[in-house]
């Protein structure tokens, strides 16, 4: 009997996803372990294997369509076996009640970002605790009134490479007739428009209204390059990752009253100590020290490691530290679990491993879920100061900037010191200014306390 192929739930918080690519066609033989399709979640691209053997009988969900998890996307069975024409409503309604075990998901290669990315990004958003959210509505096109136009007028507009939607019709019921097009062309300076033959062909091919194009050639002549620019101006759907980022950022900024506290840490001594360690073969990054200082401070200020819904506040308990990593066209936030239990050495190892996984697209959805506080470090990107947006589900985020040599006053004298700005963004509903200030200063004093680091290394 035919077995339903379901869209897997690959993480605790995963609610929906889209098939990016089917690797099998209807009618293709399938053995256990074959990759059936590749899916895109809000976190990563993953490959889904078949748990059945037979022939891929039916595909219900085409590439690029977002569906809830557990949707039946197809059937595998014996060749010629009958399957429903329409997809059953949900997995439970499948003819074979045996819900197959969730297919193993392995990260797909295609999701690997090619550009090495610094461990930094201002607005981590991917790691949020489970919160019900509406399925995204497909962007409904504005219901365009059907254009009433005569065939001659239509042909003329097409020949002129202009968009007839912009023309006001004078015929019965506002029908656009040939003379309306001619009048429009005359009024819009069409005759003065200069365009190369190849550019006009390309405009016709791509459906570009040449009245909307600015010419860059001799005396404003429209060139092929200008049409290509016009084509590039058309809206392009954001990647799923960017859409999720967009939604989360808006949600955060609209529901969490942010306020910001900036403190500058003098890391001159720490940098020297780090260089010493490096010479001895211990490779710690500045980020390791920052993360450790944040972890220790969160233990001191549990309210910053909490979350509120506006009515209640819950302490998150463990420090599940999110670390924003920018990847190609987006960013991900891998989570260091129970970071307060790790030694500096373990923290360093985990950070490296997670950053590497992020860069190669190998993070699993669960590794990107459930952080309780996030650090976004743009130190590698030469920034003086920036403010990050809080991940929904957390109380704060620390934006770490570049350590710079500046003249600083030390014991009443001006010295050259390496100073690094850190800006805390925090939820004002549960954290007040004084706590924000104390918390950020706690991080600073830890970074400046060399004795602490000597005891931790």
Residues that bind another protein (CB under 8 A): 196-199, 201-202, 205, 223-224
Q: How far is CA 157 from CA 23, 54, 180, 229, 329, in A?
A: 43, 54, 10, 22, 39
CB of 197 to another protein, least distance (A): 5
What is residue 95's DSSP assignment? S
Tell me how far apart the alpha carbons of residues 177 and 167 are, in angstroms, rounded to a whole number: 10
CA neighbours closer than 13 Å in the CB half-sphere of residue 451: 1
Exposed, middle or buried, 203 (CB in 10 Å: 0-12/13-18/19+)? buried
Q: Which is nearer to another protein, 215 or 436 (CB)?
A: 215
Closest CB to another protein among residues 208, 261: 208
Distance CA 223, CA 443 (A): 57
Query: Shortest gap between Cβ of 182 and another protein (angstroms)?
Result: 25
For residue 334, give both structure tokens.
Answer: 């891998």
Judged by CB, which is closer to another protein: 193, or 291?
193
Buried b (16+ CB within 10 A) or exposed e, 88-104: beebeebeeeeebeebe
CA 347, CA 343: separation in Å to the nearest integer? Answer: 6
Distance CA 237, CA 51 (A): 33
Which is nearer to another protein, 175 or 194 (by Cβ)?
194
Alpha carbon 23 to chain centroid, angstroms: 25
**Given 152, 233, 278, 428, the catalytic residue:** 428
Sign of CA dihedral 246, 248, 253, 255: positive
Q: CB-wise, 216 or 239, nearer to another protein?
A: 216
Place of tokens 């001619």: 182
List the beta bridge partners of residue 176: 149
428 is catalytic: yes
Pairing of strands 373-377, 396-400: parallel
The residue (of 204 and 381) whose beta carbon lies closer to another protein is: 204
Q: Which of 433, 434, 416, 447 lies closest to 264, judged by CA?
A: 447
Nearer to another protein, 196 or 418 (CB): 196
Look at residue 36 and give its three-state secondary structure: strand
Partners of 250 in the β-ladder = none
We find the least distance from the C-beta atom of residue 200 to another protein, in angstroms, to be: 9
The sheet carrying 72-77 orders its strands as 3-6, 72-77, 54-59, 29-30
Q: Which residues are catalytic?
A: 428
């Amino acid at each position: 009997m035919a077995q339903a192929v379901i869209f897997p739930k690959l993480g605790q918080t995963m609610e929906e996803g889209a098939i990016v690519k089917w690797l099998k066609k209807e009618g293709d033989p399938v053995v256990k372990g074959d990759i059936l399709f590749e899916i895109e979640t809000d976190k990563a691209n993953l490959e889904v294997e078949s748990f059945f053997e037979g022939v891929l009988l039916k595909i219900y969900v085409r590439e690029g369509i977002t569906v809830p998890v557990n949707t039946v996307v197809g059937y595998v069975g014996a060749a010629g076996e009958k399957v429903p024409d329409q997809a059953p409503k949900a997995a439970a309604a499948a003819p074979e009640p045996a819900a197959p075990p969730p297919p193993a998901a392995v990260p797909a290669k295609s999701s690997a970002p090619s550009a090495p990315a610094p461990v930094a990004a201002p607005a981590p958003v991917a790691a949020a605790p489970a919160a019900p959210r509406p399925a995204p509505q497909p962007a409904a096109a504005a219901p365009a009134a059907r254009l009433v136009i005569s065939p001659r007028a239509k042909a003329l507009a097409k020949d002129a490479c202009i968009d007839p939607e912009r023309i006001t019709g004078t015929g019965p019921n506002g029908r656009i007739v040939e003379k309306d097009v001619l009048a429009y062309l005359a009024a819009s300076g069409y005759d003065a428009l200069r365009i190369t033959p190849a550019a006009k062909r390309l405009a016709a091919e791509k459906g570009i209204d040449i009245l909307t194009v600015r010419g860059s050639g001799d005396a404003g002549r429209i060139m092929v390059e200008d049409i290509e620019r016009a084509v590039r101006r058309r809206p392009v759907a954001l990647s799923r990752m960017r859409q999720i980022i967009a939604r989360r950022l808006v949600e955060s900024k609209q529901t969490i009253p942010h306020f910001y506290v900036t403190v500058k840490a003098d890391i001159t001594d720490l940098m020297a100590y780090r260089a010493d360690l490096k010479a001895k073969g211990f490779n710690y990054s500045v980020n390791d020290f920052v993360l450790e200082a944040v972890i220790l401070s969160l233990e001191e200020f549990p309210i910053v490691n909490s979350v509120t819904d506006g009515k209640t506040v819950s302490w998150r308990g463990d420090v599940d530290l999110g670390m924003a990593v920018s990847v190609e066209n987006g960013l991900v936030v891998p989570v260091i679990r129970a970071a307060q239990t790790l030694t500096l050495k373990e923290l360093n190892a985990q950070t490296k491993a997670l950053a590497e996984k992020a860069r190669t697209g190998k993070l699993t959805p669960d590794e990107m879920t459930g952080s309780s506080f996030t650090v976004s470090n743009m130190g590698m990107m030469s920034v003086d100061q920036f403010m990050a947006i809080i991940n929904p589900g957390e109380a704060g985020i620390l934006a770490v900037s570049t350590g710079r040599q500046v003249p600083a006053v030390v014991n009443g004298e001006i010295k050259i010191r390496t100073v690094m700005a850190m800006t805390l963004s925090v939820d004002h509903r549960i954290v007040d200014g004084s706590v924000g200030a104390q918390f950020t200063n706690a991080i600073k004093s830890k970074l400046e306390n060399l004795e602490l680091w000597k005891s931790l290394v």
